[in-house]
Amino acid sequence: MKNILIIGSTGQIGSELTMKLRGMYNGNIVAGYIPGAEPNETIRESGPCAIVDITNEQQIAETVSRYKIDTIYNLAALLSAVAEAKPQLAWKIGMGGLFNVLEVARAMNCAVFTPSSIGVFGNNTPKDKTPQDTIRNPRTMYGVTKVSGELLSDYYHIRFGVDTRSVRFPGLISYVTPPGGGTTDYAVDIYYSAAKGETFECPIAQGTFMDMMYMPDALRAAVEIMEADPSKFIHRNSFNIASMSFEPEIIYNKIKEYEPDFKMVYNVDPLRQAIADSWPNSLDDTCAREEWGWKPEYDLDAMTRDMLAKLKEKFGK
């Protein structure tokens, strides 16, 4: 039995991870949310929900105590482009919130998963097959909070014995939750446009490679790392994980294999392009494969077929 608190359960990852965890475990799988971002009907009716503001340490502690929580999935964060527009709030949620979670975990003996990102890397990081252990010097507030979060999580493990674990997510692609302001969200938007029969305006320039992953693989990674035998860990916070790397023309041409009339034009967003240019083209996930058996199941073709089918069903096409 597991008793799990998901903070940020209504976000891009949380809305799907909550249901996955409830399908796996018989304990209390608590969907933590903030007013204004209430859970949908499926989440509300399938298990316990609680207001949990990550900036409120007492609220986190009370929820952990009430539901006898042993594992916290800390998913609260602003996405990259939004964080650049609201850097103070990004720090308050990303770092102040993480500190609150780790303090509760230290006091109440909880394991903690906090996702990191390819955003931890910067312009002078090796671009291709970026190593697990390399320079991390981001120039975005999103990346700064992610690097700081990795360091703080490692500190709480080394200093206080808190079982902290993390993966560096690439761009995540899903048909369930609409895109919400991430630099890689163009790779979600493009499928929405294709499924609706609309011309897609791409905000990322041709030739810009970024690592991407289909959400089912991302959810498995979040579960599998918390189930892994920690005695095999050399790293903890945070593991590179990878699935596929592409630039806009590659995904566009793949979609056209199934939607021949689909059209795309470029309307580059300078902010998102600058962020994308600072990120790796691809990640080396050897350490995750060796230390806890990570392996993706979806490539670009399998993801494209599934995304288009699910979105057409969603839109009644």
Which active-site residues does the annotation give?
142
Q: Is 137 left (phi over 0), alpha (psi -120 to 50) or beta?
A: beta
Tell me the one-letter amino acid at 115: P
Q: Is 104 helix (H, G, I), strand (E, B) or coil?
A: helix
Pairing of strands 4-7, 29-33: parallel
The answer to whether 291 and 233 are in contact (CB under 8 A) is yes
Which H/E stretch holds residue 254? Answer: helix 248-258
Distance CA 197, CA 199 (A): 7
3-class SS letters over 179-223: CCCCHHHHHHHHHHHHHHCCCEEECCCCCCCEEEEEHHHHHHHHH
Distance CA 119, CA 80 (A): 8
| CA 67 centroid distance within chain | 25
Q: Is 174 helix (H, G, I), strand (E, B) or coil?
A: coil
Q: Residue 109: CB partners within 8 Å, gap ≥ 6? A: 70
Q: What are phi and psi of 111, to 5 degrees?
A: -80, 155
